[in-house]
Amino acid sequence: MQPPLAYNHQTLAVPSQAPTDGVVRALAAQLSPVLGDTTGNRARSLDALAAAAEHGAGLVVLPELCTSGYAFAGAAEARAAAEPVDGPSVRAWHDAARAHGFVIVAGLCELDADGALRNSAVVVDPTGVRAVYRKTHLWDREPDIFVPGDLAPPVVDTAAGRIGLAVCFDAAFPEHIRRAALAGAEIVAVPMNSPAPPRPTEPIPIEIAIAMAAANASRVYVVQADRTGEERGVRWAQASVIVDPDGSVVAGPEDGEALLVADLDPARARDKSWGDRNDVFGDRRPELYSMPSTTPQEPTPR
């Protein structure tokens, strides 16, 4: 068995041959940000982007809060590491996207225009910032720090395909991924910081099982970039993975800092058929899915 290809400390899951026509090379970067080290974390993200360029990536997904770290003691610590969307990290990502011609989806500890803290994901391509999504489903202590978003996930038409967004816990809600798919997403990018549970699920982490189920249920690609390492005693699930529209894992998972690479064909995600007689969207019965406005009454016994 040949050893895996490597770029410094980052292992590569596949060789670096150029993708064929119509195919997009996607890369999920599993990194280890340092809490509060915004300058160092920015440099780490740029190293990953440089590696992605070396391997012909058209889409690069970086982890949730990759500029700041995650396990904040409170809002004041998060605020010290926050940046506006027009701040140095996003500007640096734009420069990288413009230099290398790819699309970046990355997690940002955002200070919004009203001074609120947001757990955000940005879509950046050579033309600039294409979308900013604020995480809508906040996990555990996150509501003590961040203001949740209140908009549906955007779907952005890019050179790498139509990209929908979810941030970590968002992906646990089937409605979220389905909403992006119904809006035309071919690829759902998921920046993630998922703490490892005390009793991991077997045979695979639940975050990977969820990604597989979501991809299969809506016939979309899922490109999920988790983190690694330990932060204030929190260990991470290392659930970075790339899943195809059949629900098959095509890259990952890996231990430690790693780059997961896979070639995606967006046309596959536009085909919603399940065999010759079924269609994941055409067979839906939305009229049956809404909850009634009042609680149904029990039938009167005879």
Q: What are the tens digits of pLDDT across the range 67-118?
A: 999 999 999 999 999 999 999 999 999 999 999 999 999 999 999 999 999 9
3-state SS assignment for residue 286: helix
Q: Is the pLDDT of residue 228 over 50?
A: yes
- Closest residue by Cα to residue 60 from 106, 128, 7: 106
272 has catalytic annotation:
no
pLDDT of residue 21: 58
pLDDT given for residue 302 in this prediction: 57
Is 168 among the catalytic positions? Answer: yes
Asked, for residue 195, whether it belongs to a domain, the answer is: yes
Total domains, the chain: 1
| Residue entry with tokens 């330990």 | 230
In a domain, residue 2? The reply is: no
The more confident residue out of 180 and 275 is 180
Bridge partners of 60, per DSSP, are 27, 104
| CATH code of the domain in which 64 resides | 3.60.110.10
Residue 281 located in a structural domain = no
The DSSP annotation for 155-195 comes to: EEEETTEEEEE--GGGGG-HHHHHHHHHTT-SEEEEE---B
Active-site annotation holder among 135, 142, 186, 257:
135
Give tens-digit pLDDT for 192-219: 999 888 888 888 889 999 999 999 999 9
As a whole number of Å, the CA-based R_g of the chain is: 19
Please tell me the pTM assigned to this model: 0.87
Task: Determine, yes or no, domain membership for 289.
Answer: no
Residue 235: inside a domain, yes or no? Answer: yes
pLDDT in tens, 245-254: 999 999 989 9
Catalytic: which of 66, 83, 168, 207? 168
The answer as to whether 280 is a domain residue is no
Does residue 301 fall inside a structural domain?
Answer: no
Domain of residue 14: give its range: 7-269
Q: How far apart are CA 9 and CA 168, in angstroms?
A: 25
Specify whether the CB–CB gap between 48 and 18 falls below 8 A. Answer: no
In a domain, residue 149? The reply is yes
Is 66 known to be catalytic? no
Predicted pLDDT at 297: 59
